[in-house]
Amino acid sequence: MTHPKHAAADHDVLDLIRKRWSPRAFDATRPVSRAEIWRLFEAARWAPSSRNEQPWRFVVADRNHSPEAHEALVGALGPFNQTWASAAPVLILAAVQFTVEETGETNRLAYYDAGQAVAFLTLQAQSQGLGIRQMEGFDHAAARRVCRIPDAFEPVVVIAAGYLGSPETLTVEKHRAAEVTPRRRRPIADFVFDGTWDTTMSSESN
C-alpha cells in the first residue's frame, strides 16, 4: 500500500520529491549522528545563490550534543509548535545575511537563496531517512537571543529534524490526524502559463 503522505504526482518526478513530506511526529529516543548532520549542511552548502553570496547561516541545537541549546531553542518556539517539535532530536535555526557582504547593499534575494539551501538540505535529509519540518512559528527576538545571532543577520525558520516517530506520541489531535492526511497541491495549470500569463499550461497544448 502506498503511504498516504506520498505525492499523487501527475507526472514522473524523483522519488525523493514524491515521498518527502513534513512530519510532526519524531522519534525522541533516536539521536541523529554528527556524521548524518554534517551531510545535511554539505547539501545546503552546494545550493546556488545570487552572486554566490551564500547568505544562509545555521545554528544547530542537537539534543544529544548540546541539550541546553536544544532546550533554549524549544523555548523560543510558538506554543503550538512546542507541543510536537520539542521531541525532535535536532532543531536548526536558519538565518540570512540580508546585505551584500562586499557593498553593504540590501540583498533582496537573501531569503530566496536561503530557501534553496533549506530545500537542498530537506531532500538530502529525505535520502538519509530523516524527516524535516520547517517552522515560521517562533519568537524571532527570543531565537536571536538564545542563538546569539548578530544584528546583520535575520532569523528565518527553525527546522525540526529527526527520524520519524509514531503519530500516537502527538498530544494534539489535529496534529495526529495530519500525519496521515494526503498532501494537497494546486494543479500545474493554476501556476504555470504557456508563453504568456493569458494562457495556462494545459495538456491539450502538448
Ligand X SMILES: Cc1cc2nc3c(=O)[nH]c(=O)nc-3n(C[C@H](O)[C@H](O)[C@H](O)COP(=O)(O)O)c2cc1C
Which residues contribute to the site for ligand X (CB under 6 A)? Answer: 21-22, 81, 133-137, 157, 183
Give min distance, CB of 122 to ligand X, in A: 9
- Local structure of 36: helix, strand or coil: helix
Q: What is the dihedral of CA 173, 72, 113, 135, to 10 degrees?
A: 10
Closest separation between CB of residue 194 and ligand X, Å?
26
CA 5, CA 8: separation in Å to the nearest integer? 9
To ligand X, the closest distance from the beta carbon of 119 in angstroms equals 9
Minimum Å gap between C-beta 46 and ligand X is 20
Q: Which residue has the cell 548524518?
A: 36
* CA count, 13 A, side-chain hemisphere, 61: 26
Match 498516504 to its residue by C-alpha cell.
4
Closer Cβ to ligand X, 37 or 160, answer by number: 160
Q: How far is the CB of 118 from ligand X (least distance, A)?
A: 8
Helix (H/G/I), strand (E/B), else coil: 27: coil
Rounded Cα distance, 57 and 77, in Å:
19
- Joined together, the cell numbers standing for residue 191 give 501556476
The count of C-alpha atoms lying within 13 angstroms of the C-alpha of 160, restricted to the half-sphere facing its C-beta, is: 28
Nearer to ligand X, 2 or 202 (CB): 2
Residue 186 corresponds to which cell in the numbers above? 494546486
**Of residues 21 and 56, the one with the C-beta less far from ligand X:** 21
Dihedral sign, Cα of residue 125, residue 131, residue 135, residue 140: negative
> The cell 502506498 sits on which residue?
2
Closer by beta carbon to ligand X, 117 or else 157 = 157
Residue 191 or 193: which CB sits closer to ligand X? 191
Nearest distance, CB of residue 186 and ligand X, angstroms? 12
Q: Which is nearer to ligand X, 92 or 157 (CB)?
A: 157
